Structure 1
Amino acid sequence: MNGFVTRSLDEIRFWSRIMKEHSLFLRLGFRCEDTQLIQEANQFYSIFEQIEAKSHAFTANADPRQIEAFNAEVHNAASHIWVFKRKVLGLILSCKLPGANNFPLLVDHTSREANYFRNRLAELNSGQLEPIHDAIIDENVFFLKIMADHAKFIGHLLDPSERKLVDQAREFSHDFDQLLWQAQDLSSMRPQSQTGPLLSQFLDQNRVSVASLRDFKKTARDLIEACRIKSIIHPLLADHVYREAERFLEIIEMFESSLTRNAPPDLSDWH
């Protein structure tokens, strides 16, 4: 089994679905008169739907050269959707889309994920993944910010009358802001902070908090799907943020396993 192939396909299968769903969520937030933006969002939905389908047509035994070419193709698509998202953010922040329903932070959030995706594909094709101790900090800084954002979005998209759930979302937002600042502090102390005991405690603390948020998201998703709570959260968005928490947990567990073995992760570890 080729680690480069399995890792590349895993990244593309996960993130192409995320990019496809971003296209849908952005489209739903545009005004009916924003026909050009709606058309562009629909085009990106179609592009990433095709990429997702193509990724599932490959197997772990695929020719690495084919996968390298596929990675480059997907990198190009991810770069284009990143440009689109930044353009939309600029329009919102310059008050050119009054009345639209996409939060600026949400658009920025989706653009950060597109940038993460394209950077990972570039790293895979160059064969230059980060050393494990750097990857532990950088992945956590990225995903802790994503989780903090999710808590804020949930809190703002629940109906204000859902006071208990809104309070829980705010508590998660506060907790993950704190975890993010801790991660940024650990990052600024590099390389001295990259000791086994410190990184192990860092991962353990984050894993507990992410698991708790994941469970909250799962409960919210199930309640939304059963129409048992009041919100303007699309059921697919509820599942979307749940899957990203699951992804973060898998990454943390992979890092913990690598620290326990005292060895760098193989390319095939993340699948």
Structure 2
Amino acid sequence: MGMSDAFVARSLEEVRFWSRIMKEHSLFLRLGFRCEDTSLINEANHFYAIFESIEARANAFTGGTDPNVIKRFNDEVHNAVSHIWLFKRKVLGLILTCKLPGSNNFPLLVDHVSREANYFRNRLTELNTGTLEPLPDAIIDENVFFLRIMADHAKFISHLLDPSERKLIDQANHFSEEFDKLLFQARDLESMRPQSQTVPLLDQFLDQNRVSVKSLRDFKKTARDLIEACRIKSIIHPLLADHVFREAEHFLFIIDMFERSLTGRPFQAERLDA
């Protein structure tokens, strides 16, 4: 695969995945607003429509699309992501200054979705400028980012389950503690670089994270299936349950790609069908 082909394939992969995530963030934020927050609801609906359109256009492109077309598309998507990031930070500010009493969006959730928008925006910049991080830096930075995302997910699940679902809440809290520890370990490795960036240490780092992410992914899949079947009590939207499951799958895919690049070993990405 040539450089231009790789650029197109990687760009479409990122935009297809993250535009759907941004679209769903718009829905989740809207569901958390109070009925009188009509201006915020309209803004959320506006962003939902924007990213639904971006997702459809990204799915219509093929690997043979002119790289210059994709580069312009990435710039356009970057602009949209910058605007939704600003919207999310505005909402966070309103919540933290008690301007939206009684709304159902946790401040951490709003911060979480804004971090994902910022991540997406940075990925588009890296792709368009061709300034991808060296592999050892990328391994640490991506894991620091996604381990925090996974820890957040466990906390959200715990807080959105009905208080009577004691067993599931215990499991979610266990995952929250586990991923907090993994995140601290990743930050320790981060502060020890470049000396920490040996192949054996990075390989062990990926292996350890993979085991935990697989366990969390499986828990999320079970929770999603139970929610869809109306078998547990919660205020979790079925789409949110599927959303966090897909992000765990995405993280596993990234870990497997890093493993292959680091060691040269082929991998079989173990994906659970949605």
Q: What TM-score do the two structures reach when normalised by structure 1?
A: 0.96
Of the three residues 187, 196, 201, the one matched with 2:204 is 201
Tell me: higher relative CO, structure 1 or 2? Use CA pairs within 8 A at least 6 residues apart: 1
2:196 corresponds to which letter in structure 1? S
**What does residue 4 of structure 1 align with?**
7
2:122 corresponds to which letter in structure 1? N
Unaligned stretches of 5+ residues in structure 2: 266-274
2: CA distance, partners of 1:101 / 1:223 = 22
**What does residue 259 of structure 2 align with?**
256
Mapped pair 1:222 → 2:229: no
**What does residue 102 of structure 2 align with?**
99
For residue 26 of structure 1, report the CA deviation from its aligned partner: 0.1
Mapped pair 1:171 → 2:174: yes
2: CA distance, partners of 1:179 / 1:56 = 35
For residue 216 of structure 1, report the CA deviation from its aligned partner: 0.1
**What does residue 123 of structure 1 align with?**
126
Deviations 1:150-187 (A, max 9, x none): 00000000001000000000000000000000000000
**What does residue 14 of structure 1 align with?**
17
Percentage identity across aligned positions?
80
What value does the CA root-mean-square deviation take over the aligned residues? 0.7
Mapped pair 1:45 → 2:60: no
SS in 1 for 2:194: coil
List structure 1 segments (4+ residues) > 4 angstroms apart after TM superposition: none
1: CA distance, partners of 2:196 / 2:11 = 30
For residue 215 of structure 1, report the CA deviation from its aligned partner: 0.0
For residue 261 of structure 1, report the CA deviation from its aligned partner: 1.7
SS in 1 for 2:65: coil
1:169 corresponds to which letter in structure 2? A
Mapped pair 1:189 → 2:183: no
**What does residue 32 of structure 1 align with?**
35
1: CA distance, partners of 2:168 / 2:63 = 42
For residue 259 of structure 1, report the CA deviation from its aligned partner: 1.0
SS in 1 for 2:114: helix
Q: What TM-score do the two structures reach when normalised by structure 2?
A: 0.95
1:125 corresponds to which letter in structure 2? N
For residue 260 of structure 1, report the CA deviation from its aligned partner: 1.2
2:35 corresponds to which letter in structure 1? C
